[in-house]
């Protein structure tokens, strides 16, 4: 790292790094520690492995690296040798806490962290930033960190989704009902005055207005296992209710995610499609942002804004 460079840490959820039984078990164990004290069961590990096998492995690692490299290139063009981009995962190697330590050892004095999670929650983006803070506090020479502002209504975030929605709508003879989806979280977040649900609904409403949608709604997907209640309504339930009302063509727009992963490739492209087929309805979905130049440009703006206004 060049002397005086500002570190940038891009953070994603994580993924089992391989289909090895131990890798699957370790990944699931790391996730479940936030929700319960018991170990993952053999059935839970087997089910997760089967989902990974069904999609031939998650591309999350590759896409996260692609986003980080594209961000590095963009920042280099505007501010040569000013920033050094790193990336880490919340639940799988390279873990966020390990990357923070590596950045400090490399001589980073100032850094900006950005979680690839559109909507803020104690169990989502705030959890990423808390990991950074906790890891940083244990360092002999702590880094001065700054954290990206909320970006659920950032113009470039809305534009990249608007483009995807309109791309599908322009290719279809029949206008579908648009269903904006988000990752479900335990319903207990509603007791914390958590902004997660409000930010999701606000972004969906903004996109519906931009795209001049006449028929749209919201739903949650990919809820976890166990007896704890999760945020709803569930996507399958929404599809069933709207089908019963006579609607038969739908477009899923997963704005709670930014890249292809199990929640998209399995939960939407396979499981939701199976449900749709059983209901006798059509269900399409938009393409994911992944390393779209608009997403990268937005990340660059978030980083630049924090840097220009002073890291604090």
> Is 301 part of a structural domain of the chain?
yes
pLDDT-derived band at 37, boundaries 50, 70, 90 = confident
pLDDT at 16 > cutoff 60: yes
For 37, phi then psi, to 5°, come to -100, -10
Describe the strand order of the beta sheet including 177-183 as a list of residue ranges: 216-221, 177-183, 249-253, 282-285
Full residue range of the structural domain in which residue 189 is found: 155-285
Number of domains in the chain: 2
- Mean pLDDT, rounded, for 237-245: 98
pLDDT at 34 > cutoff 80: no
pTM of the model: 0.95
% of residues, the chain, pLDDT over 70: 97
Mean pLDDT of the chain: 95
In this prediction, residue 1 carries a pLDDT of 47
> Is 196 part of a structural domain of the chain?
yes
Q: Are 109 and 31 in contact (CB under 8 A)?
A: no
> Is 277 part of a structural domain of the chain?
yes
Q: Which of 3, 4, 9, 2 is nearest to 103 (CA)?
A: 9
CATH of the domain at 169: 3.40.50.1400
In this prediction, residue 115 carries a pLDDT of 98
Are residues 102 and 215 located together in one domain of the fold? Answer: no
> Is 51 part of a structural domain of the chain?
yes
> Is 76 part of a structural domain of the chain?
yes
Are residues 168 and 143 located together in one domain of the fold? Answer: no
> Is 1 part of a structural domain of the chain?
no
% of residues, the chain, pLDDT over 90: 90
Are residues 141 and 22 located together in one domain of the fold? Answer: yes
pLDDT at 3 > cutoff 70: no
Strands, E assignment, 13-109:
83-89
In this prediction, residue 2 carries a pLDDT of 54
Are residues 111 and 19 located together in one domain of the fold? Answer: yes
Are residues 44 and 88 located together in one domain of the fold? Answer: yes
Distance, in Å, from the CA atom of 240 to the CA atom of 6, rounded to the nearest integer, reads 50
- Tens of pLDDT, residue by residue over 189-220, are 999 999 999 999 999 999 999 999 999 999 99
> Is 300 part of a structural domain of the chain?
yes
Residue 207, token pair as written in the block: 């996109």
- Tens of pLDDT, residue by residue over 57-105, are 999 999 999 999 999 999 999 999 999 999 999 999 999 999 999 999 9
Are residues 263 and 278 located together in one domain of the fold? Answer: yes
* Gyration radius of the chain's alpha carbons: 20
Q: Are 10 and 86 in contact (CB under 8 A)?
A: yes
Q: Which of 96, 105, 90, 93 is nearest to 142 (CA)?
A: 105
Q: Are 108 and 143 in contact (CB under 8 A)?
A: yes
In this prediction, residue 153 carries a pLDDT of 98
């Amino acid at each position: 790292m060049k002397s005086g460079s500002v570190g940038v840490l891009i953070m994603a959820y994580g993924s089992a790094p391989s289909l090895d039984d131990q890798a699957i078990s370790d990944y699931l164990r790391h996730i479940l520690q936030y929700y319960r004290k018991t170990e993952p069961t053999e059935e839970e590990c087997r089910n997760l492995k089967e989902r990974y096998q069904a999609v031939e492995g998650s591309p999350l690692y590759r896409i996260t690296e692609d986003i980080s490299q594209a961000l590095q290139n963009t920042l280099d063009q505007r501010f040569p040798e000013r920033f050094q981009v790193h990336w880490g995962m919340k639940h799988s190697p390279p873990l966020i806490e390990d990357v923070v330590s590596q950045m400090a050892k490399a001589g980073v004095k100032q850094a900006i962290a950005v979680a690839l999670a559109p909507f803020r929650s104690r169990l989502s983006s705030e959890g990423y930033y808390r990991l950074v803070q906790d890891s940083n506090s244990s360092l002999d020479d702590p880094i001065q960190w700054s954290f990206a502002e909320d970006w659920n209504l950032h113009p470039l975030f809305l534009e990249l989704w608007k483009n995807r929605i309109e791309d599908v709508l322009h290719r279809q003879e029949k206008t579908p009902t648009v269903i904006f989806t988000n990752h479900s979280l335990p319903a207990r977040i509603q007791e914390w005055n958590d902004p997660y649900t409000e930010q999701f609904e606000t972004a969906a409403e903004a996109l519906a207005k931009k795209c001049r949608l006449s028929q749209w709604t919201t739903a949650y997907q990919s809820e976890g296992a166990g007896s704890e209640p999760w945020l709803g309504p569930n996507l399958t339930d929404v599809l069933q209710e709207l089908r019963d009302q006579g609607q038969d063509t739908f477009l899923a727009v997963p704005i709670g995610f930014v890249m292809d992963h199990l929640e998209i490739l399995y939960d939407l492209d396979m499981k939701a499609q199976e449900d749709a087929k059983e209901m006798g309805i059509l269900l399409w979905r938009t393409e994911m942002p992944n390393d779209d130049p608009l997403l990268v440009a937005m990340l660059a703006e978030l980083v630049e804004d924090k840097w220009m206004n002073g890291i604090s």
